[in-house]
Chain A
């Protein structure tokens, strides 16, 4: 069974204080690793898909990286509007379902 563990569960950052979120995963064969952002009262919003170790993707202050066992979401010089829960999910070959982690709740203080 595919498993995803995210750490830390919650993180408070000062505005401008860069940090990283971790997503460790166990799958039989990785078809894709997905990062989503979820704001309170809203549905998950797609950020990135990573397919193979060594791959990196960037969007504004966010950068996602992937190794064979984990993914990191780096937040560079965060702003208060980056406050959200970041969800990591994996999909394995022969499987249509996404297995989600419990999320990293990030609060950025002005």
Chain B
């Protein structure tokens, strides 16, 4: 199936730990994104990569570091996890500079920091 996939779906961890979330898209898109959805369901952009180059870097703690090994993958590494990092993290992808430029989202990773 063509889609945006994320692993893991659920992540429960202790404060202070380091964790990673992986994202892959097989839609052939050139741009990938990380969004955070808080407890009030508000979706906010964190990062965006175009052809492996960082193009959006919102005001996010530097404990969060995205890495794009190639156009189809965008991973999110989080150091020294804090309680406030608990949220749902969504990966998305799009093909920019086309008439559509619609962003397609993955199923989300539910992170709970204890």
A interface with B by C-beta (< 8 Å): 31-32, 34, 36, 38, 41-46, 49, 85, 87, 89, 91, 96-98, 100, 102-103
Contact = CB atoms under 8 A, between A and B. Distances in A.
Contacts of B45: 97-98
Interface of B: 4, 31, 40-45, 48, 50, 55-56, 58, 90, 96, 100-108
A31 B99 CA distance: 10
Contacts of A43: 4, 90, 105-108
A25 to B, nearest CB: 15
B48 to A, nearest CB: 6
A85 B41 contact: yes
A96 B41 contact: no
A34 B43 CA distance: 14
6 contacts: A41-B108, A43-B108, A46-B105, A96-B56, A102-B42, A103-B41
A100 B42 contact: yes
A94 to B, nearest CB: 12
A75 B111 CA distance: 33
B101 A91 contact: yes
B43 A100 contact: yes
Contact of A100 (B44, B100, B107, B108): B44
Contacts of A85: 41
